[in-house]
Amino acid sequence: MRKEKQKITDNKIINDILTNSEICRIAMLDDDTPYLLPFNYGYKDNCIYIHSAPEGKKIELLRKNNKVCFEIEQMAEIVKHDKPCKWATKYRSVIGYGEVEIITEYKQKKDGLDIIMSHYGENSNSEYAEKHVDNIVILKLKITELTGKQSSNWKDNSS
């Protein structure tokens, strides 16, 4: 990381970003072209869980190459200034790498849905219609590398 003083080394802060953010962006490879998508997600035990249709472009790409890069931002706020070159962005984020496993077994899919629902404040062990669980897969992204970064102005009037 070029700006070492912006690196987040506190695992509690990194865990806070992973557990309290709302959107995870995942980049896959489509031959030699990046393919990036935003997802709702759940986080538990160093894994990110996403629900998906069992078919489509992302599933095809992940079957060819399950290695991905992902980004999660906890907050991004534009900080305006009366001088254009003094504008800034206040943010905290993590960027990581991992491998995606496509989960098709019913109980594991239900467990993944519970993790996702819990991430957004729903009680775990929710009741799901069997046909809905049958019609999805869970993408389980096992994190292999992770770094956190925050803007140098993070502590200035933190929201």
Q: Is 8 exposed, middle or buried (0-12, 13-18, 19+ CB in 10 A)?
A: buried
- pLDDT at position 81 is 80
Distance CA 48, CA 42 (A): 6
Task: Tally helices (H) and strands (E) across the chain.
Answer: 4, 8
Q: Select 4-146's CATH number: 2.30.110.10, 3.40.140.10, 3.30.465.10, 3.40.50.10790.
A: 2.30.110.10
Distance CA 74, CA 90 (A): 10
CA 53 to chain centre: 18
Per-residue model confidence as pLDDT tens for the chain (159 residues):
555 677 888 899 999 999 999 999 999 999 999 999 999 999 999 999 999 999 999 999 999 999 999 999 987 767 678 887 877 777 789 999 999 999 999 999 999 999 999 999 877 667 889 999 999 999 999 999 999 988 766 675 444
- pLDDT at position 154 is 67
Domain ranges of the chain: 4-146
Of 4, 153, 2, 136, the C-alpha closest to 79 is: 153
10 CB-near residues (< 8 Å, 6+ apart): none
At position 49, the amino acid (one-letter code) is Y
Distance CA 73, CA 50 (A): 16
Q: What would the two tokens of residue 31 be?
A: 């031959």
